[in-house]
């Protein structure tokens, strides 16, 4: 399976509320998005798109990269990552098959280097680039740089404290916590099908490291 080459023929004009987008299967013009139209008028093609979302997500664990695979011949994005994530969640609910977690292929260092992180001296936190230590990867949509939870844990907890993260997501808080609070190995998690197992995958990679 691969991305339908006909999507390269899609034409887009305008932006946001004024956006007009052509259907690659019947050439009609739709307002803002193609999603509703494809589901109603071309369900077979939409099903193929949905399967391709899931396949690409299994390869990358990154909805942004899935989104970039669905572009017009001019390189314009056809879908938002929100639409893609919603469809992935629906497919998980329907099939009960979870995405494949892809661990970080190489871990060069477990603790931040001095140029990556030092205690912030003021309330203005300048983070020019994302830290790369441990198992952190930037593929989870909206995850924060690992410097942020690292600083919060150092500033507001003591060794042995339990650090509770109600969201978990990509596991960045746990990565920042590793080695700083030896008594706080547990985190509470409001797990979603897309993010929860990714966070747990990070935990397993930490434990195996």
Residues 115-124 have pLDDT tens digits of: 999 889 888 9
CA distance 181 to 159: 5
Stated pTM of the model: 0.74
Percent pLDDT > 90 in the chain is 39
If 0-12 CB within 10 Å is exposed, 13-18 middle and 19+ buried, where does residue 87 land? buried
pLDDT at 99 over 80: yes
Block residue for tokens 């803002």 = 32
CA distance 135 to 205: 7
CA distance 54 to 194: 11
CA distance 107 to 124: 30
In the chain, where the domains are located: 5-95, 101-209
What's the confidence (pLDDT) of residue 191? 41
- Top pLDDT among 165 and 124 is at 124
């Amino acid at each position: 399976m691969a991305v339908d080459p006909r999507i390269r023929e899609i034409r887009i004009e305008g932006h946001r509320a004024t956006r007009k987008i052509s259907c690659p299967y019947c050439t009609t013009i739709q307002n803002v998005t193609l999603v509703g139209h494809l589901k109603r008028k071309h369900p077979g093609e939409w099903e193929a798109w949905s399967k391709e979302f899931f396949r690409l997500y299994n390869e990358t664990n990154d909805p942004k990269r899935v989104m970039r695979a669905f572009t017009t011949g001019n390189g314009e994005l056809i879908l938002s990552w929100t639409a893609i994530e919603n469809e992935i969640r629906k497919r998980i609910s329907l099939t009960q098959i979870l995405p494949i977690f892809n661990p970080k292929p190489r871990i060069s260092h477990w603790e931040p280097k001095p140029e990556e992180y030092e205690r912030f001296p003021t309330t203005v936190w300048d983070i020019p680039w994302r830290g790369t230590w441990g198992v952190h990867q930037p593929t989870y949509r909206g995850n924060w740089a690992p410097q942020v939870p690292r600083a919060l844990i150092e500033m507001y907890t003591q060794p042995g404290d339990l650090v509770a993260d109600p969201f978990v997501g990509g596991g960045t808080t746990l990565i920042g916590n590793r080695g700083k609070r030896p008594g706080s190995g547990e985190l509470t998690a409001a797990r979603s099908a897309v993010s929860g197992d990714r966070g747990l995958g990070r935990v397993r990679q930490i434990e195996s490291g």
